[in-house]
Amino acid sequence: MFDNTDGKLYIAVSGTGVMDCDVITDYFRKVILPNAPQKCVVLCDGHYSHVNNAQLFKLCRDSGKDIKLICLPAGQTDKLQPLDNCTFGFMKVKVD
């Protein structure tokens, strides 16, 4: 099913079915860090798995790269992602 992704597809599952600290940390380890430039800023939403994740902060600190994690306040993602409102917003309404 995913044979033609050239290793560019990340699939993970948590026990609860929602993002957790282990999944996001593994994603950073396998996807973000290998592709991040030496110095970068990563914006995260206010989800608890991003904000309260000591292992993620330690991973970024120990990576040898200058990575700044900026966690946005909860409930602001829709205001900062115009596509979420304009392009995909109507689809969310239709699905709900």
Q: What is the DSSP string of 34-59?
A: HHS-SEEEEEE-S-HHHHT-HHHHHH
Listed in sequence order, the residues at least 6 apart from 80 whose beta carbon sits closer than 8 Å to its beta carbon are: 72
Averaged pLDDT score across all residues of the chain: 80
Locate the DSSP E strands across 5-95: 39-44, 66-71
Listed in sequence order, the residues at least 6 apart from 31 whose beta carbon sits closer than 8 Å to its beta carbon are: 10
Structure tokens at 21: 């600290």
C-alpha–C-alpha distance, residues 75 and 87, integer Å: 19
- Residue range 27-62, pLDDT digits in tens: 999 888 988 999 999 888 877 888 888 999 999 999
C-alpha–C-alpha distance, residues 95 and 76, integer Å: 22
pTM: 0.69
pLDDT at 65: 95
